[in-house]
Structure formats: structure tokens, C-alpha cells
Amino acid sequence: MTAFSTLNVLPAAQLNNLNELGYLEMTPVQAAALPVILAGNDVRVQAKTGSGKTATFGLGLLHRIDVSLFQTQALVLCPTRELADQVAGELRRLARFLPNTKILTLCGGQPFSVQRDSLQHAPHIIVATPGRLLDHLQKGTVSLDALHILVMDEADRMLDMGFSDAIDEVIRFAPAARQTLLFSATWPEAIAAISSRVQQQPMCIEIDTVDALPAIEQQFFETSTHEKFRCCKRCLANISQPPVWCFAIPKKIVRPFVMRLMRQGKAHWRSTAIWNNATATRRWYVFRIAARAFWLPPTLLREG
């Protein structure tokens, strides 16, 4: 393992902040990518969630921020609002050593007018989903003229969600002379293609690309819509050890499914529901009864 203290280009205040946050030893992706990023080079990194990639690009972009310059200097593109919120939160922790750093999220599902008002004074760092950011760029409420560094986080998911055209449009607003960091859990041809369009001689870093498959039995049941609940109930009846996760989309079916399960399921089935924008009170309630619950979060919950 390599210590963060070996990164001599980082100021002492930043190293002290990392130490306070518990960042002592670098993960493999951080050890491989950070020296390249801090040197100002483009990288494309294949690494799974939990590898430390947020701190990797976070330290890189904070290294290039001039807080005395009230312009947007760094941009992080994320596939979902949930991920954008997580990334922004971690960047704020990493930026504690750098007073008055303004970090703003721009995502769909939030009032455009509120975001526009927040942009009266340009943030140093924007964390955004491609669609909403493009809206602001086209309306002139965001300028990327002073952008130094562009990060694409979970690029494969952004392409899966159909953001390819929006990403291309966003990049047209960015200066050609910039540093571009691309992070992806997988490396399909579409990712390689977008890398070739937006990056300059990137260093390719692959971490944990081959994982041993867990010993999990997988089964698939094909059923009609009206038989779906009965099929699910039969599957649950064969499970003796809770808790059980059931994923469903869209989220509007989750609560009715839980109520039906409690009415028609076995007497000992205690069930509850959670979804991506549930209140904090609701989330805490769910986790308090987790030990014996059947949980039914929608697929979108995977971001949180």
C-alpha cells in the first residue's frame, strides 16, 4: 500500500484533511491514477464502485481549482441525481482544506429556477447530469469557458441511459484545452469510442477487471403480468432466512405490492418498502426493522 503523504504535490493542508478523513493509504486505483492525474494528463480508468475513484478524481480536480477565480473550473458528469449528490458530498469533504470552494449540483427533478438563482455567482465545481446541464448551457445560465478539468463518472451507465448525444453537446461548450478523466466499470466499444473523441492520449488504467463469481444460485421465471405476484409469493415461501430484497420498477408499484404481500403472505412475513426519494424518517424506519423484513426498493435505490 502507498500512503497519500507520498504525493508531494499536494499541499500540507490537504494532506492533513485527508488524514482527518481517514484517508491514510491509497487504494489500487488511487495509487495508479493519482500521479498521472496530478501531472495534468488524461486518464481512462476501468474500476468498480467502491474502488476509491471519487477521491481519485476529486483530489485531481481540487488540485487545479483557484478559489480566487469565480468561474466554473471543474465539471463532473454523472448518470443520476443520486450519484451526483453522493459525489458532491464527497467533494465537499475533500475540499475542507480549501475555504470558500463553491460546489453545485445541477440535476433533473430539481426546479430550474432555483438552480438558475444559485448560478448568479458561478460555482468553482459543477456536478451534474448531462441533460440538465445541457439545458443550462443552451440557456446561457452556465459557462464552461474557464473549464480546466472534465470528469465523466460511470460513463458506461450514462451511455446505457441514452446520454451519448447530450454528452457530445455538453463537450462542445467546453474548451478544447482541458484535462479529461473518464471512469467506467466496464469498457464496451462505445466507451472506447467516446474516449477517442474527448480525450488526448489518455493513459488506460484497469483495476479489478476480473472478479470471481459469487456462489449465488440464479433462476429465471417467465410469467404473465397477472401471475407475477403469485409467482413471487411462491418464491418467497421457499426462503427460510430473512431479510430478502425484492427490486421493482416503477416505484409506484412498490407500496401496493408490499400491502398485498402483508395481506396474502404468510403470517410471519413482515414487509416494508423504500424507494430512491423516500424521506429520511422512512429510510430509518426501514433499516430499524431490517433484521426481519422483506424489503422492496425500486431499482433506482441502488445509487443510495
Specify if 214 maps to a domain: no
Give the CATH number, domain containing residue 150. Answer: 3.40.50.300
Tell me the C-alpha distance between 33 and 55, whole Å: 11
Which residues, at least 6 apart from 175, have a Cβ–Cβ distance to it below 8 Å?
A: 144, 145, 147
Of the residues 178, 206, 234, the one at which a domain ends: 206
Residues 20 and 96 in one domain: yes
Specify if 211 maps to a domain: no
For the chain, list the strands marked E by DSSP. Answer: 2-3, 25-26, 43-46, 74-77, 103-106, 125-128, 149-152, 179-184, 203-206, 244-245, 270-273, 293-296
Neighbours of 178 (CB within 10 A): 20
> What's the pLDDT at 264?
76
Buried b (16+ CB within 10 A) or exposed e, 72-110: bbbbbbbbbbbbbbbbbeebeebbebbeebbbbbbbeee
| Stated pTM of the model | 0.73
- 185 DSSP 8-state letter: S
Residues 82 and 200 in one domain: yes
> What's the pLDDT at 303?
43
Residue 290: give the domain boundaries: 225-303
Specify if 105 maps to a domain: yes
pLDDT tens digits along 60-69: 999 999 999 9
**Which residues of the chain fall short of a pLDDT of 70?**
1, 208-216, 240-243, 265-269, 276-304
Between the alpha carbon of residue 180 and those of residues 113, 293, 301, the distances in Å are 29, 44, 29
The grid cell for 25 is 493509504
Residues 94 and 173 in one domain: yes
> What's the pLDDT at 300?
41
pLDDT tens digits along 212-239: 445 667 788 888 888 888 888 888 777 7
Tell me the C-alpha distance between 13 and 94, whole Å: 11
> Strands 25-26 and 103-106: what pairing?
unpaired
